[in-house]
């Protein structure tokens, strides 16, 4: 999909026309004319789908010097490869180099593969980031009212999309964006590194993402999503650099990831206030496992605050939290509506935390003044079990909503070691109800202690995404 940058000069338009002519010639000559032209190394990689056709980014005039813009090269390459979507799909190989680029769109039945020494660099030129409409379930941008910049890697209404590599790097060069955000200089919401909308069968794996302008990975209105083996790094003071944000998605698997973030490591979302309620698409059937997170000012796993379409059936296990504000946090408020229910967390290890557990029913930040203050969220059936923590300032802060308590909370077999100077009150509970067993220090009275050992639920059945297996694909010596 082509777009023309806003305020493009005559020279830029001429350059784009030349690329378009080259693209037409490539399409006219067909695949056969390109065989054996570009030799790249052979390698194996894991993917849900293997591809029949491939090309290198350098086939389309790209220059990996870190200063030449390659936005048009990415566009031309992907546009050319899209012709193979019904013929075994295609792979675009990004070789070693520093490849400066603005936003570009992917296509269906397509793999973007980054060599281990390949670095994608997000352009510092706003003209290389198209402005797109706000998400309908949000009604506005997250940073400002109105539109938002398209993500560095973007796609909508796609099927069978893979973004992978042998730990190649995507560097958003976000510091410029962070400064503009802090100083109020943004006219539109900052871009994300990867966003796929209204898409199905997505794999994002074996990559390092650094310095995103805002959120790193954002699948939204999508299904059958796997995020695996991804390292995400950002300064812990960088604003809103969430790691992975499944948003109104069904059947998602997040596993074996390492995240250092200026915001939540995983933030589960489904729309904002009246816009999310009207859109009505929940996030459900979500697996999170073998995650390591460092986030001194936010949560390891956050549910909300934009949860107005609902969140249901989240299963998290084998999580390591280090130096983070809270382990699991539910964020909502009157006016959000929606629900958070059937949440299951087990085998979580927490080291140096402000809170182990935090539920917030008074989280503000509404989209606009049009929300309904009587739209109360339902928070029910939240299960935590088999956890250990050390150097914790306060065990739990559980704050429901007056007249709308959070119910069905179950905490079992949890040992929380306190910091040298802990809070005097370890469990601060209001407007919540549930049970506990085998928890140290002893929970608040609103979590009724069971004399017999109670094992909080964790479902034994597998979710559909658990049955999706990656294959070993081989890339040939020569591009087709």
Can you give the residue range of the structural domain that contains 63?
A: 42-241
pLDDT for residue 159 is more than 80: yes
Q: How confident is the model at residue 480 (pLDDT cuts 50, 70, 90)?
A: very low
* Confidence at 38, pLDDT banded by 50, 70, 90: very low
Residue 21 has pLDDT above 90, yes or no: no
Whether residues 272 and 233 share a domain: the answer is no
34 pLDDT above the threshold of 60: no
Looking at the structure of the chain, the number of domains it has is 2
Are residues 272 and 214 part of one domain?
no
CATH number at residue 82: 2.160.20.10
The pLDDT value given to residue 58: 98
22, 76 Cβ separation under 8 angstroms:
yes
Mean local confidence (pLDDT), 63-84: 98
Tell me the pTM: 0.91
Note whether 330 and 443 are same-domain residues.
Answer: yes
Kindly state whether residues 272 and 196 are assigned to the same domain: no
User: Does residue 237 lie within any of the structural domains?
Assistant: yes
Average pLDDT, the chain: 92
pLDDT in tens, 240-269: 999 999 999 999 999 999 999 999 999 999
| Whether residue 355 sits in one domain with residue 462 | yes
* pLDDT given for residue 450 in this prediction: 86
Going by pLDDT thresholds of 50, 70 and 90, the confidence category of residue 113 is very high
- Residues paired with residue 168 on neighbouring β-strands, in sequence order: 207
Residue 405 lies in a domain: yes
Residue 1 in any domain: the answer is no
pLDDT of residue 42: 77
Q: Mean pLDDT, to the nearest integer, of 59-84? A: 98
Q: Are residues 333 and 220 in the same domain?
A: no
In whole angstroms, give the CA distance from residue 295 to residue 234: 10
Q: Which residue has the higher pLDDT, 28 or 371?
A: 371
Boundary-marking domain end, from 241, 259, 292: 241
pLDDT at residue 412, rounded to an integer:
96
Note whether residue 289 is domain-resident. no
Buried b / exposed e along 237-259 (16+ C-beta atoms within 10 A):
ebbbbbbbbbbbbbbbbbbbbbb
Q: Which residues are catalytic?
A: 263
Q: Token digits for 420?
A: 């040298």
User: Of 326, 317, 258, nearest to 286 (Cα)?
Assistant: 317
Q: State residue 458's pLDDT score.
A: 96
């Amino acid at each position: 999909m082509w777009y023309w940058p806003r305020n493009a000069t005559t020279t830029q338009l001429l350059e784009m026309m030349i690329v378009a002519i080259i693209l037409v010639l490539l399409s006219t000559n067909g695949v056969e004319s390109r065989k054996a032209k570009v030799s790249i190394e052979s390698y194996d990689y894991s993917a849900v789908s293997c591809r029949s056709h491939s090309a290198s980014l350098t086939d389309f005039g790209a220059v990996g010097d870190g200063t030449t813009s390659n936005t048009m090269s990415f566009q031309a390459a992907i546009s050319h490869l899209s012709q193979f979507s019904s013929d075994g799909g295609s792979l675009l190989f990004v070789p070693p180099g520093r490849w400066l680029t603005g936003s570009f769109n992917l296509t269906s039945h397509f793999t973007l593969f980054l060599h281990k020494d390949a670095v994608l660099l997000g352009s510092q030129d706003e003209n290389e980031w198209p402005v797109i409409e706000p998400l309908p379930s949000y009604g506005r941008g997250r940073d400002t009212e109105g539109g938002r910049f398209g993500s560095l890697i973007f796609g909508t209404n796609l099927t069978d999309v893979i973004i992978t590599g042998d730990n190649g790097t995507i560097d958003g060069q976000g510091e410029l964006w962070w400064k503009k955000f802090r100083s109020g200089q943004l006219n539109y919401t900052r871009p994300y590194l990867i966003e796929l909308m209204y898409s199905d069968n997505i794999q994002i794996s074996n990559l390092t993402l650094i310095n995103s302008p805002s959120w790193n990975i954002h699948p939204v209105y999508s299904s059958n999503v796997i995020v695996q083996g991804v390292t995400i790094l950002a300064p812990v003071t960088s604003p809103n650099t969430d790691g992975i944000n499944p948003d109104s998605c069904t059947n998602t698997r997040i596993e074996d990831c390492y995240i250092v973030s200026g915001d939540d490591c995983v933030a589960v979302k489904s729309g904002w206030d009246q816009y999310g309620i009207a859109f009505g698409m929940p996030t459900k059937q979500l697996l999170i496992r073998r995650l390591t997170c460092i986030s001194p000012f936010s949560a390891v796993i956050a549910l909300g605050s934009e949860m107005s379409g609902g969140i249901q059936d989240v299963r998290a296990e084998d999580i390591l939290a280090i130096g983070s504000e809270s382990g699991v946090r539910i964020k909502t408020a009157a006016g959000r509506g929606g629900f958070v229910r059937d949440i299951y967390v087990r085998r979580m290890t927490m080291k140096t935390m402000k809170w182990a557990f935090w539920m917030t029913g008074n989280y503000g930040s509404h989209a606009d003044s049009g929300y309904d203050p009587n739209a109360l969220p339902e928070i029910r059936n939240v299960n935590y079990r088999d956890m250990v923590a050390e150097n914790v300032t306060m065990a739990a802060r559980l704050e429901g909503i007056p007249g709308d308590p959070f119910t069905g909370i179950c905490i079992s077999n949890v040992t929380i070691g306190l910091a040298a100077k802990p809070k005097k009150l370890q469990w601060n509970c209001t407007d919540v109800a549930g049970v506990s067993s085998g928890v140290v220090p002893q929970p608040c009275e609103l979590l009724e202690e069971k004399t017999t050992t109670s094992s909080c639920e964790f479902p034994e059945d597998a979710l559909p995404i658990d049955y999706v297996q990656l294959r070993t694909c081989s890339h040939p010596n020569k591009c087709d």
